[in-house]
Structure 1
Amino acid sequence: MLVTEEEVRADYASLEQAAQWYASLHTAGVGGTSDAQRAAWLAWLDARPEHRQAWRHIEAVSRRFEPMRAEDQRDAAAAAVQVASRGGMGRRRALAAVATLAGSGALGWLGWRYTPLADTVAAWRADYRTGTGEQRDIVLADGTHVWLNTQSALDVHYDGSERRVALQLGEMFVDTAKDALGRPFYAATRNGSMQALGTRFTVRLEPESTLLAVYEGRVRIRTANGTEAIVASGEQRRFTIDTISARELADPAHEAWIRGVVLAEDIPLAQLVAELGRYRHGHLGVAPEIASLKVVGRFPAIESDHALAMLERDLPVRVQRTLPWWTTLEPR
């Protein structure tokens, strides 16, 4: 069962309410949940379609981060089944989506962040890969250094005529070495290829495009459909299989992560939270009321709890941990 990003999208308020309901029902367990509490939960579930979407999302994420033993069915899904057996058709319809998704491993396998299935499979088969919150420094046969960021995957192919690396998922930083055989160095993604012309550069796969930022030397982009452009040092561009964006200044944040730093230079809090969330298991969100707060600073990438403590110290925000795998920043 494939679940698209649109099918699981829900508004912030609904997601937070769903997380609170899950925490309440999960903590109480089937035997400790009162009829009134279960009725209130079902009423909330029936109130808006967004509530059902949010509940499905919470249930799916919970399957990944809180797998339950068969003999200990103290989760909200079990409570739902028990109530549904007592209720009428309305309640059964309300719970149908929950039961279907809870029984499917698709969302639990793909995780909170939507990733195309083909990319996920390619990542599992890749020569090098990193998990959530992991970074890796790889030295290739010719002395080229490749740093892999969190949740990334890379294939390497060297032969007599060329050196080629293919980013299957995530983000990499490349510091190319001179080759004794004079072979060109290429980096590839699903959107096209990049030829390094003696250079240091970063490549990041985004949902619809590839971001290339060059910090030394030059890189030639050739999209999958043949469009070409050269990106100079200090520039960055995005490209798809057909198009290449206009030149922009290279963002220092795309280089800072190889030193374990998430760099914020007057960016919205929501943007920083999204970046920190890449290094954490589970959900990290921000309330709309504070999402546009501007942030300046250097934050530890791997120690994201420390980064959240820094934000709580310096901004009018508080960290709300509704569940071990569900954390949000709220107004203080």
Structure 2
Amino acid sequence: MSTRSGGLDYAALQQAADWFARLSAEPDARHLHDAWRQWHGRNEVNPLAWSYVARVSQRFAPLQEDVPGANQTLAHLRGSQRSRRQVLRGLSIVMGSALLGWGSWQQRGAWTRDFHTGVVPMGEQLLADGTRIWLNSGTALDVNFSAGQRELKLYSGEILINTGNDSRPFVVETAQGRLRPLGTRFSVREQDGRTQLNVYEGRVQAACGDSGQTRIVPAGQGVGFDRHSLSALHPAQPGREAWAKGVLMANDMRLADFVGELASYRHGHLGIDPQVANLRVMGTYPLHDTDQALAMLAQVLPVRIERPFAWWVNVVPR
């Protein structure tokens, strides 16, 4: 699954990726390791960017554990005299398999859940009470049905729910609070310490976990909340239902936000140059083929898709 860069400096990330290529092409070049150490210690941002690239590539692990030991980088390339371009081409293949391991490691906490997804959303699932659910990418969910209550516990990600006809109370719990639907179709997203609710049919009662503040959200409306407070009602986001049909819907969306959404459906790093972050995106884009979605962007916006590695992709000015 794609790793979020957490707002790290774009230039520092690009420099870290470039150091990866240089050290990979010449793993035994002492002058490169000396220069890398100087770059790494130059400021507080560079080590963060390096750590991020390490998490994405997994081939930086020896350096991550022992910064001075940069000569351990990519031991499988030792002894070779390949050019930087050849290394980059080879890494496109090598890192494809490495990312499978990274995706499994990143999601290891989710494997203990009743339902979990990686970069591929899960289609319709029918629960014992007739409720239908769809799981977006990066989702972990437990289902707990008892004689007195039906409960879904969302640990991460996003679910779309069409509740079944059952007399037992239905509850969706997130880290921020609880949702009680009243015969409805709605989506719930848990991300970055907040829960976002969009109601498409019926009504849902939203309650904060700590303050106990509650609000009834009718069809066509949505609300966001943390453990302490609820936002004002706002129009429901139709795009938050579209992913269940395999598309990402953009209606005058910032390109930076679009790229952030698309990143959750692919392995590796997907970044954007700040110069094009505020371009606006319209239309629907396929989630089953994110490379195609990126190619479509390049056809309608003044951007190009830069791929120094198979697992490191950036949207940059044309």
TM-score when scaled to structure 1?
0.78
Q: Which residue of 2 aligns with 1:199?
A: 184
Query: 2:264 pairs with 262, 270, 278, which one?
Result: 278
- For structure 2, which runs of at least 5 residues remain unmatched after alignment? 74-101
Query: 1:48 pairs with 35, 43, 52, which one?
Result: 43
Offset from partner CA, 1:13-71 (integer Å, 9 cap, x none)? 00011111112222x1424x4x44444434433433322221222123211xx589x9x
Q: Distance in 1 between matches of 2:126 and 2:51?
A: 43
**Contact 1:9 / 1:54 at 8 angstroms: preserved in 2?**
no
Q: Distance in 1 between matches of 2:104 and 2:35?
A: 31
C-alpha change, 1:234 and 1:67, in structure 2 (3 Å) is same
Offset from partner CA, 1:136-170 (integer Å, 9 cap, x none)? 32100111100011010111111111211111110
Q: Distance in 2 between matches of 1:202 and 1:142?
A: 18
Matched, 1:219 2:209: no
Matched, 1:260 2:246: yes
Q: Distance in 2 between matches of 1:219 and 1:247?
A: 12
SS at 1:257 equivalent:
helix
Matched, 1:62 2:57: yes
**Contact 1:60 / 1:108 at 8 angstroms: preserved in 2?**
no
Matched, 1:241 2:227: yes
SS at 1:141 equivalent:
coil
- For structure 1, which runs of at least 5 residues remain unmatched after alignment? 84-106
Identity, in percent, stands at 40
**Contact 1:19 / 1:58 at 8 angstroms: preserved in 2?**
yes
C-alpha change, 1:38 and 1:67, in structure 2 (3 Å) is closer
**Contact 1:211 / 1:239 at 8 angstroms: preserved in 2?**
yes
Matched, 1:133 2:131: no
C-alpha change, 1:46 and 1:166, in structure 2 (3 Å) is closer
Q: Distance in 2 between matches of 1:61 and 1:241?
A: 31
Q: Which residue of 2 aligns with 1:20?
A: 18
Offset from partner CA, 1:164-190 (integer Å, 9 cap, x none)? 1111110000001112xx112111111
SS at 2:27 equivalent:
helix
Q: Distance in 2 between matches of 1:149 and 1:108?
A: 16
Matched, 1:30 2:16: no
Q: Distance in 1 between matches of 2:222 and 2:27?
A: 54
Matched, 1:160 2:157: no
**Contact 1:138 / 1:146 at 8 angstroms: preserved in 2?**
yes
RCO higher in structure (CA 8 A, sep ≥6): 2
**Contact 2:178 / 2:206 at 8 angstroms: preserved in 1?**
yes
How many residues get paired? Answer: 284
SS at 1:193 equivalent:
strand
**Contact 2:103 / 2:118 at 8 angstroms: preserved in 1?**
no
C-alpha change, 1:319 and 1:217, in structure 2 (3 Å) is same
